[in-house]
Amino acid sequence: MRLIVGLGNPGDKYTKTKHNAGFWVIDELVRRSENAVEKKQCQAVLIQCSINGEKVLLAKPQTFMNLSGHAVSEIINYYHDRLDDLLVIHDDLDLPVGKLRFKAGGSAGGHNGIKSIIAQLNSNDFDHLKIGIGKTGSAVDYVLSPFYGEDLEKINAAVIKAADGVECWLKEGLAKAMNKFN
């Protein structure tokens, strides 16, 4: 079973903040899925479902962003998933608002949620889908603020496109997803 993790912060206070872009894509995938069953386990909201006929496990860690690795490692250990079946969806300050980038492995690029996952898994050998949120001012204040106006329209369109990209990743693999969506 493939594991798709969207990163964000739990709680109503953070629902609309830029750091929750990964959660928004998971929500869109759930909306598109079939036979979705949700439960809370492994410090995460887990949704077992089918997307275009393929069984997947969608996850929204309920740890805060900087501790995402704790939930992800618990999920991996419990479900015996392989890292080559893992896709982590997260925001990226270095990409313009709405820009998508699939990536194989690599560094955390300054993202504390990804740093935590790499540290807990003792590996960076998993796929990423980065969602550009742009950057102005202090990074901490910026990622914990909502989108407005034109940027909100761009990010809403990017969430739909990211879900399309995940479906491509599931069906055709990372290389095809990179070619179509980067």
Distance between CA atoms of 170 and 87, rounded to whole angstroms?
10
The DSSP secondary structure of 43-100, one letter per residue, reads TEEEEEEEETTEEEEEEEE-S-GGGHHHHHHHHHHHHT--GGGEEEEEEETTS-TT-E
Instruction: Spot the catalytic one: 19, 90, 111, 128.
Output: 19
19 is catalytic: yes
Radius of gyration of the chain (CA): 15
Active site amino acids: 19
